[in-house]
């Protein structure tokens, strides 16, 4: 559906303020139950425009709800996407201030860095691999702006799929010769292994998630530009973090990446 422009802008402003002021808000669908997935992406785009107008550069995209358990939990059969701003990026091993976050959780992911533009429809794994510059292990920090991390599908899409921070590994690896499906990933928190998984947890292959992103963008007349970072989706469950925690993700043959929390 097409939502009144003033409702789109009000919802985007509310979510932006929640992020900036580090406070929870009520799901936007409580006040506006008519918001569907299409209208939710309109709100996400409005939020993106507000951040760009404030000088934030868009550096990439992310996929969310890419695992079967998460899709089942939300009662959907299609993942969702969001955008990554330069203000979301954290240097490998750097400190993240939890005072700037509401209720942070971390996920182990594989990030793609694109060498060529990709345009849908019809994007597939082969096209993604051919257009990829390199892959690195990543940690995505999600931080829903909604009370108790509870939302419905349109609400979480409008909230930029809970995107908050991300860190990339420092050792770029070419995709050629990598088996992304059996790629093993381990997440450690404070030196203890807390999650393990394999690339196949992401739609059978993380490159499949990137292809799906490109095809979903095409439905809204958009493309994935060269140079984009793409977080392909969680390989592990999301793990809550707090000040004092150290999180490290290791991907088989691809090195590690880490975040420290104060
Ligand atoms: O990156 C993700 O998979 C998160 C998508 C949004 C749902 C959530 O916040 O758990
Ligand atoms: Mg994620």
pLDDT value at position 108?
A: 97
Distance between CA 96 and CA 161 in Å, rounded? Answer: 20
pLDDT value at position 158?
A: 98
Q: Which of 15, 44, 61, 65 to mutate to test the pocket of ligand 1 (most atoms within 8 A of CB)?
A: 65
229: Cα separation from own chain's centroid: 10
Arithmetic mean of pLDDT over the chain: 97
Distance between CA 135 and CA 59 in Å, rounded? Answer: 15
Q: Which of 103, 105, 161, 229 to mutate to test the pocket of ligand 1 (most atoms within 8 A of CB)?
A: 161
| b/e burial code for range 174-185 (CB count within 10 A of at least 16 → b) | ebeebebeebeb
pLDDT band at 75 (very low <50, low <70, confident <90, very high): confident
pLDDT value at position 240?
A: 97
pLDDT value at position 110?
A: 98
pLDDT value at position 181?
A: 97
pLDDT value at position 111?
A: 98
pLDDT value at position 13?
A: 98
pLDDT value at position 239?
A: 96
* Ligand 1 atom 5: residue of nearest CA: 64
- Looking at the predicted structure, is the pLDDT value of residue 138 above 80? yes
């Amino acid at each position: 559906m097409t939502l009144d422009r003033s409702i789109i802008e009000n919802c985007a402003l509310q979510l932006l303020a929640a992020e900036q002021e580090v406070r929870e808000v009520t799901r936007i669908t409580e006040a506006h139950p008519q918001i569907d997935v299409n209208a939710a992406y309109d709100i996400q785009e409005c939020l993106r425009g507000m951040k760009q107008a404030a000088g934030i550069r868009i550096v990439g995209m992310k996929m969310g709800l890419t695992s079967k358990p998460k899709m089942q939990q939300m009662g959907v059969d299609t993942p969702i996407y969001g955008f990554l701003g330069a203000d979301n990026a954290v240097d490998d091993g750097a400190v993240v201030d939890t005072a700037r976050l509401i209720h942070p959780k971390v996920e182990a992911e594989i990030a793609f860095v694109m060498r060529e533009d990709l345009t849908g429809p019809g994007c597939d794994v082969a096209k993604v691999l051919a257009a990829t510059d390199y892959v690195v292990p990543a940690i995505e920090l999600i931080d829903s702006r909604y009370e108790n991390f509870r939302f419905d599908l349109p609400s979480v899409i409008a909230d930029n799929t809970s995107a908050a921070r991300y860190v990339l590994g420092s050792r770029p690896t070419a995709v050629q010769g990598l088996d992304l499906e059996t790629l093993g990933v381990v997440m450690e928190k404070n030196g203890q292994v807390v999650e393990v998984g394999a690339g196949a947890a992401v739609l059978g292959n993380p490159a499949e998630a990137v292809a799906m992103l490109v095809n979903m963008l095409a439905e809204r007349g958009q493309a994935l530009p060269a140079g984009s970072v793409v977080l392909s989706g969680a390989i592990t469950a999301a793990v809550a973090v707090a000040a004092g925690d150290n999180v490290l993700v290791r991907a088989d043959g691809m090195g590690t990446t880490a975040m420290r929390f104060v």
